[in-house]
Structure 1
């Protein structure tokens, strides 16, 4: 069995506000409602722009799960369109719009929702809310801090947390819904549910045609004292044999601002100034439009790429500053090491960083590494850290004394000919035998075992070359 929609759409500016910031579209395959906000910042432009982009989804060529992908893409394109409009006119900064859309393929529904406009379904006399409000009070209800009844009268019930506003984080809720003949669908702006409870809405939805129901619902809102625009779309899910597909309906700001557009062409969007007056006006004459504050807690995020570049520049500056500080610190350090065969004083730190030289020879000494005792030579080859240049020079002086001590030890242990010792005789040419006297033996004192300077002993100098 093939199903179709029998629909009606109606929008009323209300008894208080001068301009209508709601926009709605109803067609054979798409029901769409957008509630603009921002007051003088052109909320009507935002809602109209969103509707003009998303209405292109009213086609029979998209079915099944593809509807979700199509809805997500269209919402993002509408968001980009709002960003472009703000770039063209900075006075529009702060404008935004809710989006609630039901896409229909004859068998099921695809829902996209962002903001506090609502989607309902009445089935077998029971009214069910399909969308989830992105509002402050709804978050309190979700957390169990207030009841649904308390939310209905909460002073901040109009404060919205998520909205289509040209910023990159405007992602909608998406879901697939079943549908059957006899279902009645409702899309409405917050001007209705903020003043009319679900029982009254359900009673109005129970009887009548879509045309009569939209009139009844808006009448209930106005009689309840609604100071906002009120827009409703009502659609019955019917068997195709009962009725034919109706012509698309465009109401609210999208219809009022569609100047010069014909047929399927996208109308030109013009700016209408003026914010709301009446209930929000103070005795001093200052007009306080509640729409101005609906999502005031959200800071402006225009030129987000510039902000990200700025943040990146700050991070890079911090990294560069930290790197320069670390490099400057390293160049104030000294250590003693080897430079070829000689002892040298280095400035910097003995670390390897690709592409960066962290140390260089500051002073090369005449002290040869091979002249050092074994222990000191191993110290120098592994580098000896110094607190400053003066300390490094003191280390070299100590090494020089150790080398001198080893040189003294070697001199004491090397035998040398004694003065007066006769050289070996050579037989005379005459051939007479020569009688030689035995040499006189003089005891040699053993080498001292006391380390030179109290630090170097004979064993320490074994490796000196």
Structure 2
């Protein structure tokens, strides 16, 4: 079984807007819709540029899981194109566009989505939304703070959170979807679902051809009072030869700019009878609703000055942080060895190429080899001190430990026995056994902190 698409695309500028910032494309292997935003910051340029880049995916050579990688790459390239356009004309700073694309390989669909345009599928009479809105109210619904019905009438339902805007964090949602004969697919800008309920959309999609359905959907939006551009792409999955399907269709701002016109001249926009011929968007009319979307920012006249300012701030933070770190190291002290002697060092014992973080603050007369074994190992490994006074105290304790070891190393003199005088009687003298010496209390092994040395540690003293 060979599956193919029978499709139609239509865009309407709407009752209020004076320019069309929507762009759409429909082809044998790609359905694509982009809704530009930014008001005077050229939303129509953004949507047209996105469509012109991504429409190159309309080819039969990309299939299966490769569609996801291809879609991600195309959206990334479109984002880079928007960045280039802002570089070329700083007046475009703040423009952006949604992107919703369905890629078809004859067996399944690849979906890429960014923003609040939508993708739907009608299967067996049931309407299913395939995309997930990147909007403020949808985040409230996801968190359970409001219901889907409340979101439909929420005053901030058009506030969009993620969009294609030339910045590096514009990553789309990506997924592979199954498809079968009889499925009806639909892409639309927010000008339709913001004013028309899912029940009405489902009823319009239940019957008719793709051409008649796009007209019905846009008519419903305009009759419901939509004050935005309205664009729809509808495609039926059918069992026919792909070569017999319609040719590629390009509508909206992308078609107008491709013809050399402007997005406000309506050169390629098909208007329905329900659109009317009034121009409510003239001077003195209501505020353009597109001005409220995605918080459009004022253009930057001198973007290079902004970049220079950012660079200066970053350098200041790096230099300031480095100086603060260096100043901190120079307030640290420790006791270590300087050759054969104990010394107090200022700084930290770390090695950084081209930078000295430590120096001898004061060398002492205490020799390292006069210290008990344990204390000598401590000094050779450096003894950290809270401040200079603490370092001096540590040296004092080491000196006391060395002095005590030196005292223990002095030899004890042996007493000389006194000669005995023989008695006058001529009897041999009677020797009196010497009295045992009084016992001396054993030394208590401690650390240099209490001024007493451990005799076992003194073995290594030279």
| Superposition TM-score, scaled by structure 2 size | 0.73
Conservation of the 8 A alpha-carbon contact between 1:24 and 1:33: yes
What are the equivalent positions in structure 2 for 1:167-316 lying under 5 Å apart? 167-240=167-240, 244-259=244-259, 285=284, 288-296=287-295, 313=315, 316=318
Kindly indicate whether the alpha-carbon contact (under 8 Å) linking 2:38 and 2:95 is maintained by their aligned counterparts in 1.
yes
CA contact (8 A) 1:337 1:381 kept: no
The answer for the alignment partner of 1:320 in structure 2 is: 322
1:428 aligned residue: none
Do structure 1's residue 87 and structure 2's residue 87 form an aligned pair?
yes
Classify 1:249/1:406 alpha carbon distance in 2 versus 1 (closer, same or farther; 3 Å).
closer
Partner of 2:138 in structure 1? 138
Deviation of the 1:119 alpha carbon: 1.4
Q: Is 1:110 aligned with 2:110?
A: yes
**Is residue 281–residue 288 contact of structure 1 (8 Å, CA) maintained in 2?**
no
Matched residue, 1:41? 41
Q: Which has the larger radius of gyration?
A: 1
Q: CA deviation at 1:161?
A: 1.5
Q: Say if 2:350 is the partner of 1:348.
A: no
- Residue 24 of structure 1 aligns to a residue whose secondary structure is strand
CA distance in 2, matches of 1:230, 1:398: 86
1:161 corresponds in structure 2 to 161
Q: 1:346 to 1:228 in 2, by over 3 A?
A: same
Structure 1: distance between partners of 2:348 and 2:60: 73
Q: How does 1:309-388 map to 2 (within 5 A)?
A: 313=315, 316-317=318-319, 319-330=321-332, 333=333, 335=335, 339-340=339-340, 343=341, 345-348=343-346, 351=349, 353=351, 356=356, 358-360=358-360, 362-363=362-363, 365=365, 382-383=378-379, 388=388
Count of residues in correspondence between the two structures: 409
Aligned equivalent of 2:122:
122
Residues 346 and 246 (structure 1), Cα distance of their counterparts in 2 relative to 1, 3 Å cut: same
Work out the CA distance in 1 between the residues paired with 2:158 and 2:397.
Answer: 82
Moved more, 127-136 or 288-297: 288-297
- In 1: Cα distance, 2:314 partner to 2:216 partner: 55
Pairwise CA distance, 1:34: 0.6
Q: Say whether the 8 Å CA contact 1:336–1:396 is kept in structure 2.
A: no
Q: CA 1:117 to 1:414, structure 2 compared with 1: closer, same or farther past 3 Å?
A: same
CA 1:313 to 1:58, structure 2 compared with 1: closer, same or farther past 3 Å?
same
Q: Deviation at 1:280?
A: 8.4
Partner Cα separation in structure 1 for residue 24 and residue 170 of structure 2: 20
What are the superposed Cα offsets for residues 124-173 of structure 1, whole Å, 9 maximum, x if unpaired?
Answer: 32222222211122222222222222211111111112111112221212
1:406 and 1:46 map into 2 onto residues whose CA distance is 87
* Paired residues of 1:337 and 1:380 also in contact (CA < 8 A): no
Deviation at 1:338, TM superposition (A): 6.0
Q: Which residue of 1 aligns with 2:430?
A: none
CA deviation profile, 1:378-424 (whole Å, cap 9, x unmatched): 75775488864898499679959x979979x9799699xxxxxxxxx
| Alignment partners' CA distance in 1, 2:252 and 2:183 | 25
Match of 2:62 in 1: 62
RMSD (CA atoms): 4.6
Aligned partner of 1:424 in structure 2 is none
Q: Is the 8 A contact 1:336 1:380 kept in 2?
A: no
TM-score under structure 1 normalisation?
A: 0.73
Deviates most, 10-19 or 109-118: 109-118
Looking at structure 2, the residues matched to 17 and 364 of structure 1 have their Cα atoms a distance apart, in angstroms, of 86
Aligned pairs for 1:398-437 within 5 A = none
Does the aligned pair in 2 maintain the 1:406–1:456 contact within 8 Å? no
Distance (whole Å) between structure 2 residues aligned to residue 145 and residue 462 of structure 1: 77
Shift of 1:347: 3.7
SS of the equivalent of 2:331 reads: helix
Q: Which runs of 5+ in 2 are unaligned?
A: 266-277, 416-436, 441-450
The answer for unaligned runs of 5 or more in structure 1 is: 261-268, 416-445, 450-454
For structure 1, which segment, 237-246 or 210-219, has the greater mean C-alpha deviation from structure 2 after superposition?
Answer: 237-246
